[in-house]
Amino acid sequence: MSIRPTGRLAPTPGGHDLVLTRTYRAPIEDVWASVTESERTARWFGPWEGDAGPGRTIRVRMSYEEGQPWSDYTVDTCEPPRHLALRTVDEYGSWHLEVTLTERDGQTELVFIHHLDSTAQIPEVGPGWEYYLDALGASRTDTRRPDFDDYYPALRDYYTNLTD
């Protein structure tokens, strides 16, 4: 299976943003639920637990990663149903992530941004986010979950070339 990469790299004052966009034929509230309700995030990323809200920390289990680790995420912004910003720190560094939703003509556009301090890991994280966002799409249509092997290493060169 051939996957078409969609990510783009945008320079920022603090580094770069990796930006990926998806569009769904669904109301904004339904897409918002897919990215914020634990039962629904469990279908494509992993469940979460805790008392969510700006300035609070939740625990997220990465269901589709080796060992299914739990990670702490701080909720920086939560403005239903349009904007969510989270951050976490793990052995690979600091992760600052944002999702912005916009509804037009019965479709909701999801813009995912990974704020990067460095582009060193983009050849690995780019394919990973493509996979997870396609898994989100599959979870919304009850279709088969994508296979990560179709994304990595197949998309590695595309993301490596973004940093040139």
pLDDT 10s digits, 38-82:
999 999 999 999 999 999 999 999 887 778 889 999 999 999 999
Q: Which CATH number do you get for residue 70?
A: 3.30.530.20
Q: Is 90 exceeded by the pLDDT of residue 93?
A: no
Average pLDDT of the residues in 135-160? 96
Residue 116 lies in a domain: yes
Residue 132 lies in a domain: yes
Residue 80 lies in a domain: yes
Let me know the angle formed at the C-alpha of 67 by 61 and 73, rounded to the nearest 5 degrees. Answer: 30
Query: Which of 53, 32, 44, 45 lies closest to 71 in space, CA to CA?
Result: 45
Burial of 32 (0-12, 13-18, 19+ CB in 10 A): buried
Residue 1 lies in a domain: no
**Number of structural domains in the chain:** 1
Residue 3 lies in a domain: no
Output the pLDDT for position 164: 78
Residue 150 lies in a domain: yes
Residue 100 lies in a domain: yes
Is the model more confident about 48 or about 89?
A: 48
**Pseudo-torsion of CA 102, 112, 13, 78, nearest 10°?**
70
Q: Give the domain range for residue 57.
A: 8-162
Whether this model's pTM surpasses 0.85: yes
Is the model more confident about 94 or about 159?
A: 159
Q: Is 90 exceeded by the pLDDT of residue 21?
A: yes
Residue 55 lies in a domain: yes
Output the pLDDT for position 80: 98
